[in-house]
Structure 1
Amino acid sequence: MEKFSKEKIARKKRCMHKDSKMFHSFLTLLLLPPPGNIIGSGIFVSPKGVMENASSVGIALIVWIITGIITAIGALCYAELGVTIPKSGGDYSYVKDIFGGLAGFLRLWIAVLVIYPTNQAVIALTFSNYVLQPLFPTCFPPENGLRLLAAVCLLLLTWVNCSSVRWATRVQDIFTAGKLLALALIIIMGIVQICKGEYYWLEPANAFEPFKDYDVGLIALAFLQGSFAYGGWNFLNYVTEELVDPYVNLPRAIYISIPLVTFVYVFANIAYVTAMTPQELLASNAVAVTFGEKLLGVMAWIMPISVALSTFGGVNGSLFTSSRLFFAGAREGHLPSLLAMIHVKRCTPIPALLFTCLSTLLMLCTSDMYTLINYVGFINYLFYGVTVAGQIVLRIKQPDMHRPIKISLIWPVIYLIFWAFLLIFSLYSEPVVCGIGLAIMLTGVPVYFLGVYWDNKPQCFDAFVGKWDYRIMVKDILLLCVCLISHGLL
């Protein structure tokens, strides 16, 4: 009897442990630090960009819903690839295995030069916007002030990450609550507004009343702006090891988490238009601050503080993850060897962190967050589509390959149709911004063939490259100084 009781207790503990692990997995999907987050800082900056390009409240809300649906489809495609090609590295590994080393290298190359620095710059600028906007209630904060505060935030958090891994993780834990508090306040106040009858812009007759002419190209840009807020969905398969029975529970996690995020984002935007007209929303540089000023009265200070906490933690999380990617890429021989070095005592990848910081500071030469979002969104979607296309290629080349998760091919086809629409019309609307991203990506082709593909390089070539590894930081610092001087900051 005693033995039976002990076995029963042990079995109950195991079940509780499994439930706890499952709950933790779902939380991880929702709260991973940027760019591996779903609910993140993007929801505080993207609404203005979506509204501006959508041209009406109704189309803007439809954009948020469709973006959530496409995100769920993309996540399911990635889930199949994640368990079919069980390697760390996410889409970098999938693209490399399916299309070869050059495609994988270009994914890493563009992540290093564009995606991570631009993401960090946008989040840092959002932080400075929400800190400074209450100090300039009748106008926009000065651009130099925005860039300077964003740079201070970035430098401070780079120092924290260089000093201690423990400090970096504590900062992340403390500041995660900011985003949840801000979003909860926004949604609750929105529900109160609807109960009071303040839903003029949600009525069908008014919701689709355009404040400027509709344009398909601009609607494509609205999707790019919205996709920034959903950034991190492609990290969902990174939590496979934490899930009990991942082949069943990973799709289940996607079915739960992404609809929940879509619900939160749509209701946050509904809440905004219960308190502001579209014109007021577009005139605001910090939408949540304006929302708080209209509805929270003397407690309006809660909103900028909550968003500032969220974005401060967002910059920290992005620095932490991006520096590790650069470190791993250097260790594989795809980036300069200097970036693979770590501090002997602190065990932090200081060169990789400094490179990340300097690259992001260069992006801060502009304070136009919405151009930066279009810039990074176009490149991100380009590789999302290439990765999903790889799923179809793999099905054709290896139809009998073991696939623990196997979705219908209709889903990647739908994703690729949307992907083609988005890229074609985004390129049409913003040819310069999107073209620059493509040009930077293509610079990786000669680098790959000279630095990675060419095996039998002469010793003098290796010595030359090795020497320049140690000059890369100096070059970035000089470029940064030139940029600051040109903008009158030095």
Structure 2
Amino acid sequence: MQETSLRKRREDEKSLQSTEPKTTNLQKELGLFSGICIIVGTIIGSGIFISPKSVLSNTEAVGPCLIIWAACGILATLGCSPPQVVVKFLAAAAILVITMVNALSVRLGSYVQNVFTAAKLVIVAVIIISGLVLLAQGNTKNFENSFEGTKLSVGAIGLAFYNGLWAYDGWNQLNYITEELENPFRNLPLAIIIGIPLVTGCYILMNVSYFTVMTATELLQSQAVAVTFGDRVLYPASWVVPLFVAFSTIGAANGSCFTAGRLVYVAGREGHMLKVLSYISVKRLTPAPAIIFHGIIATIYIIPGDINSLVNYFSFAAWLFYGLTISGLVVMRFTRKELKRPIKVPIVIPVVVTLLSLFLVLAPIISMPAWEYLYCVLFMLSGLIFYFLFVRYKFGWAQKISKPLTMHLQMLMEVVPPEEPPE
């Protein structure tokens, strides 16, 4: 009995030793299910509960609206009115909590993502099932002559795609955390193939549900489409809709923080941003400085307050960089043929996505020019000032500022440069 107990204790000790990280680096703790939850949970945020109004306002008919939602999915695969200051304060508080969670533990951030993904799928299922039941009962009036009154222009299509693709944003988030994904060459494409079609199907069915109880005019007049749907279909339990929309938004924000923090981390590690952003927490093995930096930037983004303007200018900036990134892949396919490519797609796919990105960036500017697009470009270019001063040329006076700051942040946050993993 004692020998069995002793052997079991030695096995436990050996198991514990084998699970301890050998280097101060990010660990592979995410499986396929967590990968799918990150894609689905980051894509489904507040977008599908709000942006149907903006998509419809640019297409002006039910038929083209549903086609835009389906096309956005294909491209990806490829209550009350409280004061604005209160809303912004709550948003800032949520960002702070999410930042703390992801800075404290990779597993905790992953568990939070899984829970909120499950919660948002519950409300998605409730809306879809309710709508399909009403549709089966004969509520099809809003789908009659669904292409009547369509007035499309190149710019309107671009803006409609902006709002639709904003609701799909998150389709690329898993790419940022391949270092922490178990068996990434298998699980990355598999999670994308499962996650994005799942979201696309949910989005189309949710829009069908919305149109079973709202006319196009009523949907355009709604401030939050899902809340209006809940008031009409789920009363007196309609309060669950804004509650679960909040859960959905928090889950998407958590997924974005989890993945975008890794993007900042790698940028610092590769020398594109300050080195301190690539440091790892000694105790928790998380990229804490990068996550906190992302949280600060996210807090700044809540200042404008106008969701439609934020969506348009975010989408403009995002698709500008998506296009540049993917066009870089096309160029490197010919100029860097010697590079190892564990995951390789036919060249036609990045070419098509590059052309679509170019259309999405230029079409709204050409048809409906606005100064805000120029402001957006200037805001992005302002990053070059910090890059050249603190990263590229490392001027002496700039280093006098950055080095003591890096040292104090390193001691305060208990972070160190990442170690090279053993061969």
Q: Same fold (TM over 0.5)?
A: yes
The whole-number CA distance in structure 1 between the counterparts of 2:293 and 2:190 is 38
CA separation of 1:459 and 1:353: change in aligned 2, threshold 3 A: same
1:220/1:422 contact within 8 Å kept: yes
Deviation sequence 1:135-182 (CA, Å, 0-9, x none): x2xxx4432332222223223334444555555444333322221001
The whole-number CA distance in structure 2 between the counterparts of 1:254 and 1:405 is 13
Matched, 1:445 2:351: no
User: What does residue 403 of structure 2 align with?
Assistant: 466
The percent of aligned pairs where both chains have the same amino acid is 39
The whole-number CA distance in structure 2 between the counterparts of 1:442 and 1:37 is 27
Among residues 56, 66, 72, which one is paired with 1:61 in the alignment?
Answer: 66
Residues 147-166 of structure 1 correspond to what in structure 2 (within 5 A)?
Answer: 147-162=88-103
The whole-number CA distance in structure 2 between the counterparts of 1:388 and 1:358 is 28
Deviation sequence 1:54-108 (CA, Å, 0-9, x none): 22222211111111222222xxxxxxxxxxxxxxxxxxxxxxxxxxxxxxxxxxx
Q: Residue type matched to 1:363 in 2?
A: Y
CA separation of 1:171 and 1:424: change in aligned 2, threshold 3 A: same
User: Gaps (5+ residues) in structure 1?
Assistant: 1-23, 74-133, 473-490
1:330/1:338 contact within 8 Å kept: yes
1:224/1:378 contact within 8 Å kept: yes
The whole-number CA distance in structure 2 between the counterparts of 1:42 and 1:29 is 21
Once the two structures are TM-superposed, the CA of residue 284 in structure 1 deviates from its matched residue by 2.0
User: What does residue 278 of structure 1 align with?
Assistant: 216
Q: Secondary structure at the match of 1:233?
A: coil
Matched, 1:267 2:272: no
User: What does residue 32 of structure 1 align with?
Assistant: 38
Among residues 48, 56, 59, which one is paired with 1:51 in the alignment?
Answer: 56
CA separation of 1:236 and 1:149: change in aligned 2, threshold 3 A: closer
Residues 164-175 of structure 1 correspond to what in structure 2 (within 5 A)?
Answer: 167-175=108-116
User: What does residue 234 of structure 1 align with?
Assistant: 172
User: What does residue 201 of structure 1 align with?
Assistant: 142
User: What does residue 487 of structure 1 align with?
Assistant: none
User: What does residue 388 of structure 1 align with?
Assistant: 326
Q: Residue type matched to 2:226 in 1?
A: A
Q: Secondary structure at the match of 2:202?
A: helix
User: What does residue 98 of structure 1 align with?
Assistant: none
CA separation of 1:157 and 1:38: change in aligned 2, threshold 3 A: closer
The whole-number CA distance in structure 2 between the counterparts of 1:410 and 1:275 is 41
Once the two structures are TM-superposed, the CA of residue 442 in structure 1 deviates from its matched residue by 2.0
Once the two structures are TM-superposed, the CA of residue 29 in structure 1 deviates from its matched residue by 4.7
CA separation of 1:401 and 1:154: change in aligned 2, threshold 3 A: closer
2:76/2:196 contact within 8 Å kept: yes
The whole-number CA distance in structure 2 between the counterparts of 1:452 and 1:220 is 36
Once the two structures are TM-superposed, the CA of residue 296 in structure 1 deviates from its matched residue by 1.2
Is the deviation greater in 296-305 or in 341-350? 341-350
The whole-number CA distance in structure 1 between the counterparts of 2:157 and 2:290 is 37
The whole-number CA distance in structure 2 between the counterparts of 1:380 and 1:252 is 24
CA separation of 1:272 and 1:439: change in aligned 2, threshold 3 A: same
Matched, 1:307 2:241: no
CA separation of 1:66 and 1:334: change in aligned 2, threshold 3 A: same
Once the two structures are TM-superposed, the CA of residue 266 in structure 1 deviates from its matched residue by 0.9
The whole-number CA distance in structure 1 between the counterparts of 2:106 and 2:348 is 43
The whole-number CA distance in structure 1 between the counterparts of 2:99 and 2:181 is 29
Q: Secondary structure at the match of 1:268?
A: helix
Is the deviation greater in 373-382 or in 276-285? 276-285
1:64/1:265 contact within 8 Å kept: yes
CA separation of 1:293 and 1:471: change in aligned 2, threshold 3 A: farther
User: What does residue 70 of structure 1 align with?
Assistant: 75
The whole-number CA distance in structure 2 between the counterparts of 1:322 and 1:397 is 28
The whole-number CA distance in structure 2 between the counterparts of 1:162 and 1:415 is 34
Once the two structures are TM-superposed, the CA of residue 269 in structure 1 deviates from its matched residue by 0.8
The whole-number CA distance in structure 1 between the counterparts of 2:192 and 2:98 is 31
Q: Secondary structure at the match of 1:298?
A: coil
Q: Residue type matched to 1:436 in 2?
A: Y
Once the two structures are TM-superposed, the CA of residue 224 in structure 1 deviates from its matched residue by 1.0
The whole-number CA distance in structure 2 between the counterparts of 1:341 and 1:259 is 36
Q: TM-score, normalised by structure 2?
A: 0.77
Residues 210-359 of structure 1 correspond to what in structure 2 (within 5 A)?
Answer: 210=150, 213-237=151-175, 246=185, 254-340=192-278, 351-359=289-297
User: Gaps (5+ residues) in structure 2?
Assistant: 1-30, 410-423
Among residues 404, 413, 435, which one is paired with 2:351 in the alignment?
Answer: 413
The whole-number CA distance in structure 2 between the counterparts of 1:266 and 1:383 is 27
Deviation sequence 1:322-370 (CA, Å, 0-9, x none): 3344344334443335545566655555544443333222222222112
The whole-number CA distance in structure 2 between the counterparts of 1:397 and 1:331 is 24
More helix by share: 1
Matched, 1:185 2:126: yes
